[in-house]
Amino acid sequence: MQSFLLTIFVIIIPFLLVLFLRTNAAILFFVLTGAATLQTYLDKDVSSFAGSILPGSNVQTISLGLFVFPFIVAAIAFRGTVSKKMLVFHLLLSLCVGLSLVFIVPQFLPPGVVDTIHDSGPYKSLQPYTSIVIAASFLASVAVLWFSHPKSKSHKKHGH
């Protein structure tokens, strides 16, 4: 039961951020994937640098902090960027972002928590669809950014 609740909690975090802060879910997705990519390629270098600044901290805590920090900063920085008419689309996209979190975040968590998430019913039932969920989240994020981008007005030439 605990693993089920933890997985559901991870899924609804972006939903709550969009609902209460009106944060752009597409930007949250790109920050999520960017942080995961940086963690994958810079993990050892960043962890050793952070470990030299913060002695006594473990690598898992540093990795998780470096993953979560940009996500929280983006959620706060882009609060209020969703209009009421686009809120439903961002809420749907936020669920995709939450599902992506379930697949991406465990690699940065302590082994016990990873096992808890991997043993949960929702994770086991969604795990075969990891690629589809992440690809759909990416495409939906691009579409949301495209359609929410302000269109430039055509400029008329004035004859002088």
**pLDDT computed for residue 82 by the predictor:** 92
Structural domain boundaries in the chain:
2-148
Task: Show the CA angle centred on residue 42, arms to residues 39 and 45, nearest 5°.
Answer: 130
Among candidate residues 144, 12, 24, 19, the one with its CA nearest the CA of residue 82: 24
pLDDT tens per residue across all 160 residues of the chain: 677 787 788 889 999 999 999 999 999 999 999 988 888 787 677 667 776 776 666 767 777 787 888 999 999 999 999 989 889 999 999 999 999 988 888 877 778 878 887 888 888 888 899 999 999 999 999 998 888 776 666 555 555 5
Which residues, including other chains, have CB under 8 Å from residue 35's CB and lie 6 or more apart?
A: 66, 67, 70, 71
Structure tokens at 38: 């940086």
Angle at which helices 2-21 and 111-118 cross, to 10° = 90
Neighbours of 23 (CB within 10 A): 24
The whole model's pTM is what? 0.81
pLDDT digits (tens, 9 = 90+) for 84-100: 988 999 999 999 999 99
pLDDT digits (tens, 9 = 90+) for 30-49: 999 998 888 878 767 766 77
Answer for the pair 68, 60: CB distance below 8 angstroms, yes or no: no
